Amino acid sequence: MTVAAPSASPWLLLAFNLPSKHASARVEIWRKIRKSGALPLRTSGYLLPNQPENQERFEWLASIIRKYKGEATIAQVSCFDGLPHEQLAQMFLAARDKDYQLLINALKRRPTPNPKELSGLRRRLQEIAAIDFFQSPLRVRLESMMSAAEKGPEKSSTARSRSKREFLNRTWITRPRPGIDRVSSAWLIQRFIDPTARFIFGADPRQVPHSIPFDMFVAEGFGHRGDDCTFETLCKEFSIKDPKVRSIAQIIHDADLGDEKFGRSEGAGLDRVLNGWARQQISDQELLNRGMEMIEGLYCGL
C-alpha cells in the first residue's frame, strides 16, 4: 500500500474537554468521533488527515462540544506524539482494515445474503469507504465479494475461459499509484494476453470509452473476486497455466492480501521496493514500467 507524501501540515488535531457531569454527551461525541474515522492518540486528542471535508467534520464536532459547555481546539499539525507520517498513515489503514475485515467475515459466513442483508452490508461498506483516507486494499476485495453476492451464484461464476482475440490492441485502465497487484497484472496482460496493451490511469473507466478496467472499484472488468487478487482473476479468466505464473500468483496473493494463504514471503520485498519508488514522486507510468520490469525479472529467475 502506497502512502502519499505529506504536505507541510498534513494532519488536523482535535483536542477537547467536557464537564464531568455530561456523561451522556461524552458517549454522543465519542460515537460521532468514531464515525468520522478520527484516530485516537496516546496522550489526548484525535487526528484526521488535513482535508477540507475533515476540517468540516472537526468544526461540527467542536460546535457540539461547545454546546455542552466544553472546550474544543482544532489545529493543523505536521506530526504528533513523535510518530512519523508513514506510521500514522499505517494506523489509519489498520483501523479501516479491521472494519473491512468484519464485513468480509460476514460475507464468508453467509455468501448469499438476502436483499435486506445485502443492503445493510452495502450501506456499511459506503460508510467505511467514506473514511478510508489511505485506500485500504481490503476495499477492493470486499467490493468484489459484494458484487459477486449481488449477482448471485450463477452470474458470478468465473469458470468460463476468455477469448484473447477480443482483448487485443486495447486500452487498459487502473487506479493511479499502482501497487504490487496492479503492476504484476499489467505485466501479465502484456506478456500473455495483449502484447500491445496500452495502460492509462484514472478513477472512472466510464470516462474512457472502450477501456478495460483492472483492479478498480467497479464491478466490470477484472479485479478481486472472492479470495483471489486481480492477478489470480486474470490467470483464471484467460486460462494461463504457466507454472512460473502460478508461482508468481501465489507470491502476489500473499503480498497483496496479507493472509499468508500460500506462505510466500518474497512479495513483501517487492512491495517495499514499489513503495520506495512511489515515494520518489515518479510518474504513474514510470512506476508501472519499473514494476513490470521487476516482475519480468522475477519470472525469468524462477
CATH number belonging to domain 11-77: 3.30.70.240
Q: What is the 8-class DSSP label of residue 83?
A: B
The answer to whether residues 18 and 50 touch, using CB atoms and an 8 Å cutoff, is no
Strands 46-49 and 198-201: unpaired
- Residue 213: phi and psi, rounded to 5, are -80, 145
158-174 pLDDT, tens digit each: 444 556 788 999 999 99
Per-residue pLDDT at 113: 85
Residue among 216, 4, 224, 203 at smallest CA distance from 93? 4
pTM beyond 0.75: the answer is no
User: Given phi > 0 = left and psi -120 to 50 = alpha, else beta, which region is 61?
Assistant: alpha
pLDDT of residue 5: 44
16's grid cell:
477537547
99-107 mean pLDDT: 92
Phi-psi region of 228 (alpha: psi -120 to 50; beta: other; left: phi over 0): beta
Q: Which has the higher per-residue pLDDT, 21 or 39?
A: 39
Express each pLDDT in 55-87 by its tens digit: 999 999 999 999 999 999 999 998 777 788 889
Percent of the chain with pLDDT over 90: 60
Residue 223 pLDDT exceeds 50: yes
Q: What is the pLDDT of residues 261-287, one digit of tens each?
A: 888 888 999 999 998 999 898 999 999
Mean per-residue pLDDT, 193-216: 93
Contact assessment for residue 265 and residue 210, using Cβ atoms and an 8 Å cutoff: no
Ranges of CATH 3.30.70.240 domains, the chain: 11-77
Close Cβ partners of 18 (under 8 Å, ≥ 6 residues apart) = 25, 26, 29, 65, 68, 69, 70
